[in-house]
Amino acid sequence: MTDPVFDTAVTRAFGCRLPIVAGGLMWLSDASYVAAGARAGIMSFITAASFPDPAVLRAEIAKCRALSGDRPFGVNISMLPKLVEGENIADIFRLIADEGIRFVETSGRNPEAFMPILKQAGITVLHKVPSVRYALKAQAVGVDMVSIVGAECGGHPGLDLIGSMVNQALAERDLDIPFLIGGGIGTGSQIIAALACGASGVVVGTRFLVAEEVTAHDGYKQALVAASERDTTLTMSSVRNTVRTLCNETTEMVKQLEADDPNIGIAALMPHVSGAIGRKAYETGDVSRGMLSAGQSLGLTDRIAPLADIVAQLEQEAQTALSRLRPHQTATQHAEAITS
C-alpha cells in the first residue's frame, strides 16, 4: 500500500502512484524508458524533439501506450530558442492532442501562445522553469503545474542559478498552483523534504540516467556511476544558454573559448556543442567529447539498475526519512495532550 503522504496534487492529476516525474531526456526518453517509468508508478514524458518526423513520433507514442498498458505517460515539448528554421511547435501540439495524449511537459519558452490548443484538448500542462520568477509567469498564462529545477540540475539551469532549496521556499511563499522541485534530487529523503516544504512532487533526471531501460551504451552509464558531484561544469553562459554537463574535453575547450572571447556567439560554439556530437556518447560509450547533460546528483548514482529498482530504492529511502519524523511527531502530540 502506498503511503498517504504520497497522495498529492501531482499523483492526483497524473494518476501515478508516486509524486515523482522523470523529466524528458533529449534522445533518451523513448517508449521503453517512459513505459518503464509508468510501470514503476511514476510520471514520464517522451521527448518529442527526439522524434522530429511526425510519423515516427506517432509510432513511438503507440509503442509506449502498448508497453504502458493503462498507466499514464506524457510527451515533452522543448521550446528552446528557435534553433530549427521553420519549426512549427503548434503542429506538434496538435499531433499530440490527436493522439489522445492527456499530459504535456513544456519547457524553454513561454507556452502562452499554445495554451488554447492544449486547453481545448483537455491536456494537463506541466511547465518546467529554472526559477520562481518564471514560474509566476507560467502560472499567469494558465499552466496547471510548474516544475522548478535549481542550479544543481543537469541541462539548462537558467541564468539566475538559484539553488533548489531557495526555489522551494520561494515557490511555497509565492505560487498558487502546484509545483514540483528538481535539481540535484536523487534520494528519497529529498522527496520528503520537498513535500514538507510545500511541493507536490519532485523532478528526477540525472539519477535515472543509469537505468537499464535508458537506450545508451553501458560505457556511458558506467562513466556516470564513476563520476561524483564534482564532475559537472557550467558553460555557454556567454550565449545566455547556460548548461550543466559532465566535465570532459569538450567542456574544457568551450570554457576556454568563452574565456578568450566573451562575445564569441553561438555560431562559433556550435561545431563543439552540437547535439549530434553528444549523441555519439550514447551510442559508443565514449564520454570524452560532447555536451552531456548531467547534474550534481551524479554523486548519488551508484549502479546501473532497472528503473523500477531505482524507484523502489527512492521509495524505501523516503519511508526511512518519514520514520525519522514520525516518532518526533508522536512524542509532540503526546506532550500536547498532557498539557491540554
pLDDT tier, 11 (very low <50, low <70, confident <90, very high otherwise)? very high
d(CA 205, CA 156): 12
Asked if 156 and 130 touch (Cβ cutoff 8 Å), the reply is: yes
Fold held by 8-215: TIM Barrel (3.20.20)
pLDDT tier, 93 (very low <50, low <70, confident <90, very high otherwise)? very high
> Which stretches of 38-184 are assigned E, i.e. beta strand?
43-47, 74-78, 103-107, 124-129, 145-149, 179-182
Asked if 25 and 155 touch (Cβ cutoff 8 Å), the reply is: no
Each residue of 257-311: pLDDT tens digit?
Answer: 999 999 999 999 999 999 889 899 999 999 999 999 999 999 999 999 999 999 9
Cell of 196: 514538507
Residue ranges per structural domain of the chain: 8-215, 232-293
Q: Which residues of 63-76 are buried (b: 16+ CB within 10 A; e: fewer)?
A: bbbebbeebbbbbb
> Which stretches of 267-333 are assigned E, i.e. beta strand?
none
Which pLDDT belongs to residue 15?
A: 97
pLDDT tier, 335 (very low <50, low <70, confident <90, very high otherwise)? very low
Each residue of 167-184: pLDDT tens digit?
Answer: 999 999 999 999 999 999
Which pLDDT belongs to residue 280?
A: 93
Which pLDDT belongs to residue 336?
A: 53
d(CA 315, CA 16): 14
pTM value? 0.92
d(CA 277, CA 323): 46
